[in-house]
Amino acid sequence: MALPEDAAKVDDRNLNAYYGEKMQVQNLSAFYGENRAIQDINMQISDRKVTAIIGPSGCGKSTLIRCLNRLHETAPKARVEGSVLLDGEDLYKLDATAVRRRVGMVFQKPNPFATMSIYNNVSAPLRFNGRPSRDELDAAVLRALKQAALWDEVKDRIDSAATGLSGGQQQRLCIARALAANPEVLLMDEPCSALDPIATAKIEELIGQLKKDYTVVIVTHNMQQAARVADNTAFMYLGKLVEFGPTEELFERPKEHLTESYITGRFG
Amino acid sequence: MNFDRAARRKYFSHGMTVLTGLSIVVIMIPLIAIIYEAASIGGSVINVAFFTQGIPYPCNSPPAASCQQGGVIVPIEGTLSLLGLASLFSVPVGVGAAIFAVEYGGERASARVIGIVADVLSGVPSIVAGAFVYIVMLAYDPSIVFSTLSGSLALSVLMVPIVTRTCEEALRTVPHSVREAALALGISRWKTSVRIVFVAALPGVVTGVLLSIARAAGEAAPLLLVLGDGCPHPLQGITNEGCALPLWIFYGATNPYHNWYLLAWGCALLLLLIILILSISSRLVLERLARRMRGG
Assembly ipTM = 0.86
- Per-residue pLDDT band for B143 (boundaries 50, 70, 90) equals confident
Tell me which residues of chain B, numbers 171 to 190, contact chain A at a CB-CB cutoff of 8 Å: 175, 177-189
The answer to whether the Cβ–Cβ distance between B186 and A181 falls below 8 Å is yes
Partner A, chain B 79-118, Cβ-Cβ below 8 Å: 106-107
Q: Are strands A21-32 and A78-86 parallel, antiparallel or unpaired?
A: antiparallel
Distance from CA of A162 to the nearest CA of B (A): 9
Amino acid at A196: D
pLDDT at residue B19, as a whole number: 94
A114 and B184 in contact by Cβ < 8 A?
no
For residue A240, the domain's CATH number is 3.40.50.300
Question: Do the Cβ atoms of B183 and A181 come within 8 Å?
Answer: no
Put simply, whether B194 touches A (Cβ < 8 Å) is no
Q: Choosing among B112, B185, B199, which should be mutated to test the A contact, i.e. which has the most A CBs within 10 A?
A: B185
Nearest to A107 among B181, B199, B293 (CB): B181
Over residues B241-288, the pLDDT tens digits come to 888 999 999 988 888 888 888 899 999 999 999 999 998 988 888 787
Euclidean distance between the first and final Cα of chain B, in Å? 53
Contact B184 A98 (CB under 8 A): no
Residue A10 has pLDDT above 60, yes or no: no
Q: What is the pLDDT of residues B196-214, one digit of tens each?
A: 999 888 888 998 899 999 9
Residue A7 located in a structural domain: no
pLDDT confidence of residue B294 = 55
Mean per-residue pLDDT for B5-31? 92
Which stretches of chain A sit within 8 Å of chain B by CB?
Answer: 69, 71, 74, 76-77, 97-102, 104-105, 107, 109, 111-115, 124-125, 128-129, 161, 163-164, 174, 177-178, 181
* Distance between start and end Cα atoms, chain A: 38
CATH architecture for residues B73-294:
Orthogonal Bundle (1.10)
Query: Do the domain assignments include residue A242?
Result: yes
pLDDT at A16 exceeding the cut of 50:
no
Q: Which residues of B touch A131 (CB under 8 A)?
A: none
With a cut of 80, say whether residue B99 has pLDDT above it.
Answer: yes
- Give this prediction's pTM: 0.80
In a domain, A8, yes or no: no
**Burial of residue B139 (number of CB atoms within 10 Å: 0-12, 13-18, 19+):** exposed
Nearest chain B residue to A110 by CA: give it. Answer: B177
Nearest-CA residue of chain B relative to A178? B185
Q: Choose the closest CB to B185 out of A124, A161, A164.
A: A124
Q: Is the pLDDT of residue A3 over 50?
A: no
**pLDDT tens readout for residues B184-200:** 999 998 999 998 999 88
User: Inter-chain contact A114–B180, Cβ cutoff 8 Å?
Assistant: no
Distance from CA of A92 to the nearest CA of B (A): 15
8 Å CB contact of A107 and B180 = yes
Banded model confidence at residue B144, pLDDT cuts 50, 70, 90:
confident
Mutate to test the interface with B, among A66, A77, A91, A97 (most CBs of B within 10 A): A97
What is the count of structural domains for chain A?
1
In a domain, A208, yes or no: yes
Residues 6 or more apart from A245 whose CB is under 8 A from it? A232, A233, A255
Question: Does residue A1 fall inside a structural domain?
Answer: no
Full domain range(s) for residue A200: 13-263
Give yes or no for a contact between B159 and B212, defined as CB atoms under 8 angstroms apart.
yes
Flag whether A38 is in a domain: yes
Q: Is B280 exposed, middle or buried (0-12, 13-18, 19+ CB in 10 A)?
A: exposed
Q: What are the tens digits of pLDDT across the range B20-61?
A: 999 999 999 998 999 999 999 988 888 898 998 888 888 887
Distance CA(A220)–CA(A252), nearest Å, equals: 18
Q: Which residues of A touch B186 (CB under 8 A)?
A: 97-102, 125, 129, 181
pLDDT digits 0-9 by tens, A107-152: 999 999 988 999 999 999 999 988 899 999 999 999 999 999 999 9
The answer to whether residue B290 neighbours chain A at the CB level (below 8 Å) is: no
Q: For residue B63, is pLDDT > 70?
A: no
- Write down the pLDDT at residue B238: 82
Give the number of other Cβ atoms within 10 Å of residue B259's Cβ.
22
Task: Answer whether A113 sits within 8 Å of B200, measured CB to CB.
Answer: yes
Least CB-CB distance to B180: which of A71, A101, A128? A71
Show me where the domains of chain B are located: 2-45, 73-294
Write out pLDDT tens, residues A48-105: 999 999 999 889 999 999 999 999 998 888 999 999 999 989 999 999 999 999 999 9
pLDDT value of position A11: 47
A220-260 per-position pLDDT tens digit: 989 999 999 999 999 999 999 999 999 999 999 999 999 99
- Asked whether the beta carbons of residue B184 and residue A178 sit closer than 8 angstroms, the reply is yes
Is residue A24 pLDDT above 60, yes or no?
A: yes
Percent of chain B with pLDDT over 90: 47
Q: Do B184 and A104 touch (CB under 8 A)?
A: yes
Residues of A in Cβ contact (< 8 Å) with B106? 76
C-alpha A264/C-alpha B28 separation (Å) is 68
Chain A residues whose beta carbon lies within 8 Å of the beta carbon of residue B195: 128
- The DSSP call for residue A117 is B
pLDDT at residue B181, as a whole number? 94
| pLDDT score of A2 more than 70 | no
For residue B111, is pLDDT > 70? yes
Contact A71 B184 (CB under 8 A): yes
